[in-house]
Chain A
Amino acid sequence: MQKISEFVVGLLFGMGLLLSGMADPAKVLGFLDLFGSWDPSLALVMGGAILVGFFAFTLAKKRTTSFLGGALHLPQANQIDRRLVIGSLLFGAGWGLAGFCPGPALVSLFAGQPKAAVFVVAMVAGMILFELADRYIHQPRARQVGAP
């Protein structure tokens, strides 16, 4: 049951990205071009997603297990630190350069787009770079990676 649910959620999420326009980098850049000819569509994507998500997370916070009986893995981190801000700055810069964030890049890769495949390879390389830096530079520190 868990496996089916995970698969269906992945399927829904991928289709949501395709329907919303998030998987079209030119549209994403049209949204990020606040000072040019601005396409506000993606504000509606976020608004719609958060509208539904808000009720779900409000309900989830009151529970100790998921409805399928498993553990609830809600993020515990709450500190706003340099890692969070610098990481988000780097991510936003990359997002603005090509118009891809991780989800849409994966969906476009699965749709057979060669440029998306190159993007995902570079993105995974960036993630590996992070794992190496985290292991060799930040090692003494407790790891707080994984959940947002």
Chain B
Amino acid sequence: MVIDWVNFTPWASLGGGLVLGLAAALFVLLNGRILGISGILGGLLLPRLGDIGWRISFLLGMAAAPTVFAWLAPADFLAAPRIEAGYALIVAAGLLVGLGTRYGSGCTSGHGVCGLSRLSPRSLVATLTFMGAGFAIVFVVRHLL
């Protein structure tokens, strides 16, 4: 293993992680909800009465994030995301992520952040599994193919 010191951003990533944790903390303490994006979005597909509003308010907040972040952040944080995958790969990956997160009942936020924070063995298994699969796929794509 070789550490990529050039791209390592310890402070921004730790700071961003603390903000993500704060968001998850406020959500459970104030709203009584688990902050899991795949669940919040997936619950809108077959919506139940009275279970829609909170999802929409949350997503509207997320929609405002890029604009507010651009006001607050220094210029070197505003680089556009680097998306190397072509459109065919993007579609395949999106299908897998949508199907997999709903089948496994959670993603990086619901299982990874909230589940590990509440010491759920189920979320630990899910997180180790999806991270393991991610490591494996990147290994195959970058080092075997």
Contact = CB atoms under 8 A, between A and B. Distances in A.
A binds B: yes
Interface of A: 2-3, 5-27, 29-30, 32-42, 44-61, 65-68, 70-75, 77-80, 83-108, 110-113, 115-116, 118-131, 134, 144-148
Given A48-B14, A51-B21, A85-B129, 14 more contacts: A20-B17, A37-B2, A46-B116, A78-B121, A85-B104, A88-B133, A94-B96, A95-B108, A103-B107, A106-B41, A106-B59, A108-B83, A127-B45, A144-B105
B61 A97 contact: no
The interface centre, meaning the residue of B25, B42, B97, B104 with most chain A CB atoms within 10 A of its CB, is B97
Sort chain B's interface into a size bin.
Answer: 35 or more
A36 B113 contact: no
Contacts, number: 523
Contacts of B34: 73-75, 147-148
Contacts of A23: 81
Nearest to B91: A122
Contacts of B114: 53, 57, 148
A18 B69 contact: yes
A48 B13 contact: yes
A3 B82 contact: no
Contacts of A94: 92-98, 100
B60 to A, nearest CB: 6
B2 A84 contact: no
Contact of A148 (B79, B96, B126): B126
A29 B130 CA distance: 14
15 contacts: A7-B61, A17-B65, A25-B81, A35-B139, A38-B2, A46-B112, A50-B113, A65-B32, A91-B96, A110-B63, A110-B64, A115-B90, A123-B95, A148-B34, A148-B114
Contacts of A9: 23, 26-27, 30-31, 35, 58, 61
A48 B29 contact: no
B93 to A, nearest CB: 4
A90 B65 contact: no
B12 interface: yes
A40 B14 CA distance: 11
